[in-house]
Structure 1
Amino acid sequence: MTRPFTRRGFLARSALIGCSAAASPFLTRISLAAAPWDARLVVIVLRGAMDGLDVVQPYGDPDYARARGALAGGPQNGAAELDGFFSLHPALGTLMPLWAAGELGFVHAVSTPYREKRSHFDGQDILEAGTDTLGAVRDGWLNRLLTRLPGVETRTAFAIGHGEMKILGGAAPVADWTPEVDLALSPQAMQLAERIMQEDPAFHAAFAEASMLAGGGMGGADKAGAHLEVAKFAAEQLRGDTRIAAFSINGWDTHGRQHKTLIPALERLAGTLTSLRDTLGPAVWGKTAVVAMTEFGRTVRINGTGGTDHGTGGAMVLAGGAIRGGKVHGTWPGLDEASLFERRDLMPTADVRAPAAWLLHGLTGLDRAAIEQVVFPGLDMGRDAGFLR
């Protein structure tokens, strides 16, 4: 039996060969869970508070251009037309074939129940806990989902680097793999490592895999493409026994020069979704749902540095062959000042947990009562908006 590749064991041995680990600036740990049903679910946490108004632009709202000022988009400013009211940020233009195929959609004006303080830490905690109040539980909503389903199996654990996905933390066993390692070994150090590990086949194999996943060889990780490595790794697992994958994409906290600082995060998101589709292949992609969620939205008006500050209502992204895409879901509240939350933020008209709840219900068959009472305690799922095919 192959022994698990643990952080403690890795650090103990790496001290002999001078390895160094460096955290990725883009991504946190990826968590995976195997389960007996056939559909696949990918949950992406967009850490930093994505500006939904800049991503899915409501250019058809009569107050949009005035409210957004220099950040106003729309087809006339290079955005991709969606439905005559909303347009898509140009940096996500490569995803338009998914929209045309009905494999990309959005839900606008959504938020967790978290309000007013607008702390990233609190916002992410309540997003991953899936509760209506802070500190109500210690585990994550995806983990609670697994505790209610039969036949969930443990995968071999890989813990390399830093970060955690609280969304999958809890009593149910899941596997972890972290792409946050730059082994940064010279050819001489790699040869020394090979000699040292010759008599330890289990660690030799694990080290070789870690080296490959960290960047494909001796030169270390390509941090600029780390999101693609994560997407490919997740997709490869989902092609096998894994049914749920959760990971993060950072870089959404755009307090200044948003017209430039938002673009890299959007390009990483687009690349991630495209990589997932391509690596999964048509058959598995056809039964996959991807949901990308963020802790809260951003202010409607821009600030003095050309960015936006922490807000409330935002948008979530849906993708995959199992998604009924080609639509922007949700009830639009309007952007006139009287319609804004505290006269500064997009007013949430739906709980961000509700679309996720309907995806869980459709993909796994878990009954509504269990979802509302255990997975997302305090949630009223409302009506089924038809997010799945």
Structure 2
Amino acid sequence: MSNTLSRRGFLGRAALLGCSAAASPLWSRVSFAAAPWDTRLVVIILRGAMDGLDVVQPYGTPDYARLRGGLAGGPATGAADLDGFFSLHPGLVSLMPLWQQGQLGFVHAVSTPYRDKRSHFDGQDILEAGTAGLGQGVRDGWLNRMLQHLPGVEAQTAFALGHGEMKVLAGPATIANWAPDADLVMSPQAARLMERVMQDDPAFHAALSEAMMLSSGTDDPMRGDAGPEAVQIARFAAERMRGDTRIVSFSLNGWDTHGNQGKAIQPALKSLAATITTLHDDLGPELWGKTAVVAMTEFGRTVAINGTGGTDHGTGGVMVLAGGALRGGKVHGQWPGLAEVDLYERRDLMPTGDVRAAAAWILRGVSGLDRGVLEQAVFPGLDMGGDPGLML
């Protein structure tokens, strides 16, 4: 690309291409599988690296306001107080009734073992493979490996947005797929090439994300008000889970907020809130009471804001939990603090827990799988540690 190409000109061209594979809503895949147990499990991959410090805000520590500046939240900014220390971003305040009913919770300061390179593709690959790193010869995802160790599993249905792949469910255990209509604007090869080219340039990545919004004519990367594609997916998921389907997996995008994060994060929050609300409403009280929704992201974001009012790729993040089968009304996990000495590499939230361990305990509660199977086969080499009490 010529160095003389203006940002406006670049955006104009990028709008014709759409967004990167790591952040585009056209590259999300949703998969389903039937199983002989009664609890429903929904796994949502939040692609783009959600800023856990913006979603579940540690307003109770002075370091937060000092480091976050204009992005610092808390009850005074419209956030909902959770427990006197953490508050919930205003974009998710509509979920507070679930928190009050013990059906919404969080696990803070968690991450995969991935460190330092901060590539979306690598981070998502490790998250969905459930391994300690890349190049370990594991080709299937941890949800598929779970299905391989359970009796009586049969394919039910699945769906995908665009031509993307939910690697978390990829593998020899049979699943089915379903996709809503989507108008693709670039090939899978072109999208992946664009992501590879731009992944190490935050400004470039942010510009492409902005171009996607401009090309769609809306501030919502889900292409419309209230994330209609996300709602469509959630409604279809609930319909299937009212039948034989027990496992659902899909992704929500738009979490890569390098610039103007105060505005840029809003569409993604709106889609997440709408997805959880739709699942709750469409499943009804009885089935919602048997449902565990787990939303996780490839890594967190930097503690301090950058010069464009955004945050860059970081390490520790937050897991979002919802559903009547989970122990909500609590921010789980060990809080590390935000003093400089407490940060990872003096820039990121220090991970105090492995996101795979939290997922493993939820899988154990959902399916009854033996701990040894979870640690050796589903999440190879994982030490689950003590039971964090995430499931009722």
Coarse TM-score class (shorter-chain normalised) = 0.7 to 0.9
Task: Give unmatched runs, 5+ long, in structure 2.
Answer: 1-18, 185-222
Range 362-371 or range 171-180, more displaced: 171-180
1:276 maps to 2:279: yes
Q: Secondary structure at the match of 2:59?
A: coil
Q: For the Cα contact (< 8 Å) 2:105–2:322, is it kept in 1?
A: yes
> Is 1:26 paired with 2:25?
yes
Which structure 2 residues correspond to residues 340-351 of structure 1 after superposition, within 5 A? 340-351=343-354
Is the 2:110–2:353 Cα contact (8 Å) retained in structure 1? yes
By how many angstroms is 1:155 displaced? 2.6
CA separation of 1:379 and 1:261: change in aligned 2, threshold 3 A: same
- Counterpart residue number, 1:58: 58
Q: Which runs of 4+ in 1 moved over 2 A?
A: 22-27, 155-161, 179-183, 221-224
Q: CA RMSD in A?
A: 1.8
Question: Residue deviations 1:131-178, cap 9 Å, x none?
Answer: 001132110000000000000012356677311100000010011112
Partner AA of 2:171 in structure 1: G
Question: Partners in 2 of 1:388 and 1:181 — Cα distance?
Answer: 36
Partner of 2:387: 384
Change (3 A) 1:93 1:377: same
Aligned 1:90-129 pairs, distance under 5 A = 90-129=90-129
What residue number does 1:355 align with?
358
The reply to whether residue 78 of structure 1 matches residue 81 of structure 2 is no
User: Do residues 142 (structure 1) and 140 (structure 2) align?
Assistant: no
**Is the contact between residue 29 and residue 180 of structure 1 (CA under 8 Å) also seen in structure 2?**
no
What letter is aligned with 1:326?
Answer: G
User: What is the CA-CA distance between 1:68 and the residue it aligns to?
Assistant: 1.0
Which residue pairs with 1:45 in the alignment? Answer: 45
Give me the whole-angstrom Cα distance separating, in 1, the residues matched to 2:224 and 2:152. 37
Residue number in structure 1 paired with 2:189: none
Residue 293 of structure 1 aligns with which residue?
A: 296
Which has the higher Rg, Structure 1 or Structure 2? 1
Change (3 A) 1:162 1:353: same
Equivalent residue letter for 1:148: H
Partner of 1:208: none
Give the letter aligned to residue 49 of structure 2: A
- Assess if the C-alpha contact under 8 Å between 2:41 and 2:247 holds in 1: yes
Partner of 1:306: 309
Q: Distance in 1 between matches of 2:87 and 2:330?
A: 11
Once the two structures are TM-superposed, the CA of residue 76 in structure 1 deviates from its matched residue by 1.3
Q: What amino acid maps onto 2:328 in structure 1?
A: G
1:332 equivalent in structure 2: 335
Aligned mates of 1:319, 1:147 — CA distance in 2: 25
Alpha-carbon distance in structure 2 between the residues aligned to 1:353 and 1:240: 28
Task: Give the secondary structure class of the aligned counterpart of 1:63.
Answer: helix
Shift of the alpha carbon at 1:308? 0.2
Note the alpha carbon deviations across 1:236-291, whole angstroms, 9 max, x for none.
11110000000000000000000000011001000000000111111110000000
CA distance in 2, matches of 1:87, 1:155: 39
For 2:318, the equivalent position in structure 1 comes to: 315
Say whether 1:164 aligns with 2:165.
yes
Q: Counterpart of 1:181?
A: 182
Between the aligned partners of 1:222 and 1:300, the Cα distance in structure 2 is: 31
- Secondary structure of 2:265 counterpart: helix
Query: CA separation in 2, counterparts of 1:88 and 1:78?
Result: 9
C-alpha distance in structure 2 between counterparts of 1:50 and 1:159, whole Å: 21
TM-score, with structure 1 as normaliser: 0.82
> Does the 8 A contact of 1:26 with 1:227 survive in 2?
no
Cα distance in 2 for partners of 1:66, 1:286 equals: 40
SS at match of 2:348: coil
What is the deviation of 1:181?
2.4
Q: Are 2:302 and 1:265 aligned?
A: no
Letter matched to residue 390 of structure 2: F
Partner of 2:251: 248
Identity between Structure 1 and Structure 2 (%): 72
**Under a length normalisation based on structure 2, what TM-score does the superposition of the two structures give?**
0.82
**Following TM superposition, by how much is the alpha carbon of 1:182 offset from its aligned partner in structure 2, in angstroms?**
4.8
- Structure-2 residue corresponding to 1:131: 131
Measured after TM superposition, the shift of residue 222 of structure 1 is 6.3
3-state SS of the aligned residue for 1:44? Answer: strand
CA distance in 2, matches of 1:121, 1:327: 31
Identify if the C-alpha distance between structure 1 residues 171 and 259 changes in structure 2 by more than 3 Å, giving closer, same or farther: same
Q: 1:281 to 1:336 in 2, by over 3 A?
A: same
